[in-house]
Chain A
Amino acid sequence: MKYLTEFRNGEIAQRMAREIHQVVTRPWKIMEICGGQTHSIIRNGIDQMLPPGIEMIHGPGCPVCVTPLALIDKALAIAAQPGVIFCSFGDMLRVPGTDADLFQIKGRGGDVRIVYSPLDAVELAVKNPDKQVVFFGVGFETTAPANAMSVHLAKRRGLKNFSLLVSHVLVPPAIEAIMSSPENRVQAFLAAGHVCSVMGYWEYPPLADKFEIPIVVTGFEPLDLLDGIRRAVIQLEKGEHHVENAYERIVTYAGNLEAQRLLAEVFEPTDRAWRGIGVIPKSGWRLNDKYRDFDAEERFQISGIHTEESPLCKAGDVLRGAIKPAESPAFGNECTPRHPLGATMVSSEGACAAYFNYGRFLSAEELASAGATHA
């Protein structure tokens, strides 16, 4: 496959890993922001290829994971209402709310549907004028343009039965929050390539200056990740801190201007609660006044929700990069993909699920020796 196979070449990967080994003189802690990158690092064993001192800290960039519990409970309440078609991306369906998940709501008779695009939900609204169609609009800057387009189209077509339950979150304020935390250990960031394909990377130089950290815009294939890590390590070793673009085949400095115009037309910044982390100022988008009529939270006045996190769940510590998933006492015990306590164990982008599914309950030595008979 063009643009994929070339970036999964094992020999070149080994060569890039050797280059990293050659430049490293001391330990460094690098955070990959995006859950898609975490998934790829663990799936491909990139962390196994790095020098022992280079630690990848997994960031909060899994939209499913950081969507606050209160909003999940709200989604469950709306989805359970008669006359509602509740549409969502697939991996939201198994995220546990306080009492249930969307799969259980579906089993109890709620009309919950998996769609691949919010525009499919708009079409459903056109075809079902007697139903209220709600789309669960979660995600970072990556998914925001399509969600913005859905309400933009719904407004233009005068649809009265389409609304968006919005929980958009933004990367730059998250970097700011992580760097400002007293327990921060992160020394460099891999910025999320897909986010930057929409937003460009003009937002990042002020952060690199303020916190004196290297930020490398990085893609998702093994060679992309190794290149991002390599560039971050070189900057760290030289004592430099600037923004680099290691994902040039997709990302430009300015980003997708058309998408940014649409986002500005539909959304406005808002304080947002991140599950497991807390409220980060101006870290999200909500529908602005012009589009408020399409806000599902306005349309469905849901009250009396009592939300309660599992006391055993350490997802917050994982999302802040304070601990690795396997360091949570519940990991693999009370908390498994089958009985997840938190969202990080559900989404394939969640750090806990990535660790569990790819066998990171084994020690590094056990994993390395597992392949002995291949030789």
Chain B
Amino acid sequence: MPDHGAPDFSNWSCPLPLRDYPTIVMGHGGGGKLGNELVEYLFLPAFRNPALENLGDAAVFELGPGRLAMSTDSFVVQPLFFPGGSIGELAVNGTVNDLAVSGADPKFLSASFILEEGFPLAQLAAIVNAMAEAAAKAGVRIVTGDTKVVERGHGDGCYINTAGVGALRQNISVGPAQAQVGDVVLVSGTIGDHGMAIMSVREGLEFESQIRSDCAALNGMIADVLDAVGTSVHTMRDPTRGGLASTLNEIATASNVGIEIDEAKVPVRGEVQSACELLGLDPVYVANEGKAVFFIAPEAADRALDILHGHPLGRDAARIGVVTTQHPRMLVARTAMGSNRVIATQIGEQLPRIC
């Protein structure tokens, strides 16, 4: 897969024999022969695993004893392909990460596609292959799925829903309401990369070095942290839509505590900061797809930070703040000027300013 924006499909060899149609037609969602061909030539070879190959109405699998975690997410990103990934990786990693930050080991995923009539099969194949690669990397299996087709003009090419099931780890108890006064706040790397990668493509912004999405499965990195200091971890979240600010505000509210961060310690890539300045946005509100925040008992924080630094996805991890009894349910930042400011939750999406 090329590194920039939309891949070049001119030399793409589609694993699906193109039969009669190089694009999705209504019949692909009709439950007939065309739909079966999509399954047989595209989905099965890409996702191949025993639970899927039954092709029953439901996947059947065993998950051992203990409690389970389940999560679902829908993906409607535009553009479908962007620097650092595609809707395919996002759909797998998004659900994997939601399970991982809940303290579960992600195991099985479902994948549902809503395709727009006329969507190129070659692009669908690229997306499906990206999902298969991401699933293999994250160690999860895609065991059931569905495809529907909507008329041209009723969709944005391709929407994907994934749901996932994971086994909760023993002796781990994490949740948004469990942050404790004195906890140290860690973030696993630079913030705002995904949101600004998407924005730069949409707005045609170019910088000296290209901004790439941080889209990645976090379950391996999180497992390392939990293996080492699991009982000291109180809260984990992946700061996706609404960015770091929204995630920390949610935790402050759910745990009824105050959170203080040191603005200068929050890692932001130079090119992401530049793009934000240009568009009048604040990186703390920009989406991430491969970052986690940890609320950890202070005595375990250094160890956790060492573990993060030793993982390829956590090299830029940083200690950014603490949990306090003051200003409950609020996020306060110490600015570089030495003053304090409240970081509130945004109402909707950030709006670019006039000047």
- To the question of whether A and B form a pair in one complex, the answer is yes
Interface residues of A (CB under 8 A from B): 1, 4, 8-10, 13-14, 36, 42-46, 48-49, 63-64, 89-94, 103, 114, 116, 138-140, 142-143, 194, 222, 337-338, 347-349, 356-360, 362, 366-374
In the bound complex, do residue B335 and residue A44 qualify as a contact, i.e. CB atoms below 8 Å apart? Answer: yes
Instruction: Establish whether residues B332 and A371, one from each chain, have CB atoms under 8 Å apart when the complex forms.
Output: yes
B299 within 8 A of A: no
Are the C-beta atoms of A45 and B337 separated by less than 8 Å?
A: yes
Q: A359-B330, A373-B324 are in contact. Are A92 and B354 (CB under 8 A)?
A: yes
Looking at the complex, which of B33-41, B104-112, B270-278 is the stretch in contact with chain A? B270-278
Q: Kindly state whether residue B353 has any CB partner on chain A within 8 Å.
A: yes
Complex Cα distance A341/B183, Å? 39
Given contacts A94-B351, A347-B354, 20 further A-B contacts (CB under 8 A): A13-B336, A13-B338, A44-B336, A44-B339, A48-B339, A89-B353, A91-B351, A91-B354, A93-B351, A116-B203, A116-B279, A138-B354, A222-B337, A337-B344, A348-B351, A358-B343, A366-B327, A370-B258, A370-B327, A373-B326
- Contact across chains for B341 and A358 when beta carbons are under 8 A apart: yes
Q: Are B326 and A370 in contact (CB under 8 A)?
A: yes
Are B274 and A367 touching (Cβ within 8 A)? no
Minimum distance in angstroms from B75 CB to a CB of chain A: 22
> A357 touches which one: B270, B344, B354 (CB < 8 A)?
B344
What does DSSP make chain A's interface, helix, strand, loop or mixed? Answer: helix
Report the separation of the CA atoms of residues A296 and B258 in the bound assembly, to the nearest whole angstrom: 50
Give Cα A45 to B324, complex, Å: 21
- Is B316 on the interface with A (CB-CB < 8 A)? no
B324: A residues at CB distance < 8 A: 373
Q: Is B340 an interface residue (CB 8 A)?
A: yes
Query: How many contacts A-B (CB < 8 Å)?
Result: 126
A356 to B260, CA, bound (A): 18
Q: Check if B341 sits within 8 Å of A362, measured CB to CB.
A: no
Beta-carbon contact of A371 and B334 below 8 Å: yes
- Partner pick for A10 among B258, B270, B338, CB 8 A cutoff: B338
Q: Which of B327, B337, B344, B351 contacts A44 (CB 8 A)?
A: B337
Are A116 and B352 interface neighbours, CB within 8 A? Answer: yes
- Interface residue ranges of B309-355 to A (CB < 8 Å): 322, 324, 326-327, 330, 332, 334-344, 347-348, 351-355
Residue of B nearest to A136 (CB): B354
Q: Smallest CB–CB gap between B233 and chain A, Å?
A: 21
Residue of B nearest to A141 (CB): B355
Query: How far is A194 from B355 in the complex, measured between Cα atoms in Å?
Result: 8
B250 within 8 A of A: no
A359-B341, A373-B324 given as contacts; is B355 within 8 A of A143 (CB)? yes
Chain B, Cβ-Cβ closest to A89:
B354
* A1 near B274: Cβ-Cβ < 8 Å: yes
Nearest CB on B from A220, distance (A): 10
Chain B 262-286 near chain A by CB (<8 Å), digits 1 or 0: 1010000010011001011000000
Out of B334, B337, B352, name the residue touching A91 (CB < 8 Å).
Answer: B352
Kindly list chain A residues whose C-beta atoms are within 8 Å of the C-beta of B258.
370
> What are 8 A-B interface contacts by the 8 Å CB criterion?
A1-B273, A91-B351, A94-B347, A116-B352, A139-B354, A337-B347, A367-B332, A373-B322
| B338: A residues at CB distance < 8 A | 10, 13-14, 45, 49
Known: A63-B355, A370-B260. A358 touches B337 (CB 8 A): no
Instruction: Write the chain B residue with the least CB distance to A47.
Output: B339
Contacts of A347 in B (CB 8 A): 353-354
- Residues of chain A lying within 8 A (CB to CB) of residue B348: 94, 103
Contact B340 A370 (CB under 8 A): yes
- A49 and B339 CA atoms in complex are apart in Å by 8
Across-interface contacts of A374 in B (CB, < 8 A): 260, 262, 334
State the Cβ distance, A225 to closest chain B Cβ, in Å: 10
A370 CA / B252 CA spacing, docked (Å)? 14
A45 near B326 with CB under 8 A, answer no
A148: shortest Cβ distance to chain B, in Å?
15
Q: Are A359 and B326 in contact (CB under 8 A)?
A: no
Residues of B close to A90: CB separation below 8 A: 351-354
Partner of A140, one of B274, B332, B334, B355: B355
Inter-chain CA distance A92–B354, complex, in Å, is 8
Cβ–Cβ contact A45 & B355, under 8 A: no
Q: Which residues of B contact A360 (CB under 8 A)?
A: 342
Q: Which 10 interchain pairs have the tightest Cβ spacing?
A: A359-B342, A45-B339, A90-B351, A90-B352, A89-B354, A371-B340, A358-B341, A91-B351, A10-B336, A370-B332
> In angstroms, how far is the closest chain B Cβ from the Cβ of A88?
9
Q: How far is the CB of A66 from chain B (nearest CB, A)?
A: 12
Nearest A residue (CB) for B325: A373
When C-beta atoms are compared, the residue in chain A nearest to B336 turns out to be A10
CA distance A46 to B280 in the complex (A): 19
Q: Are A49 and B274 in contact (CB under 8 A)?
A: no
Residues B337 and A63 in contact, CB atoms below 8 Å apart: no
In the complex, the answer to whether B326 meets A348 with C-beta atoms within 8 Å is: no
A116 neighbours in B (Cβ, 8 Å): 203, 279, 352
Residues of B within 8 A of A372 (CB): 326
The winner among B326, B341, B343 for most chain A CB atoms within 10 A is B341
Kindly identify, within residues 160 to 209 of chain B, every residue whose CB is under 8 Å from any CB belonging to chain A.
203
Interface pair A43/B341, CB less than 8 Å apart? yes
Residues of A within 8 A of B336 (CB): 8-10, 13, 44, 222
Residue from A338, A356, A370 having most chain B Cβ neighbours under 10 A: A370
A1 to B268 CA separation, bound complex (whole angstroms): 12
Contact A1 B322 (CB under 8 A): no
B342 A357 Cβ-Cβ under 8 A: yes
Closest approach, in angstroms, between the C-beta of A32 and any C-beta of chain B?
15
Task: Find the B residue at minimum CB distance from A338.
Answer: B347
Q: A1-B274, A10-B337, A49-B337 are in contact. Are A358 and B354 (CB under 8 A)?
A: no
CA of A111 to CA of B242 in the docked complex: distance in angstroms? 25
A368: chain B residues at CB < 8 Å are 340
Contact yes or no, B337 A371, CB < 8 A: no
B352 & A89 in contact (Cβ 8 Å cutoff): yes
Q: Is the CB of A91 within 8 A of B353?
A: yes
State A114–B279 Cα separation when bound (angstroms): 12
Of A103, A222, A359, the residue contacting B344 (CB under 8 A) is A359
Q: A338-B347, A373-B326 are in contact. Are A362 and B342 (CB under 8 A)?
A: yes
Q: Which residues of A contact B273 (CB under 8 A)?
A: 1
Q: What is the minimal beta-carbon distance from B146 to any residue of chain A, in angstroms? A: 29
A142: chain B residues within 8 A (beta carbon): 355
> In the complex, A143→B332 CA distance in Å?
33
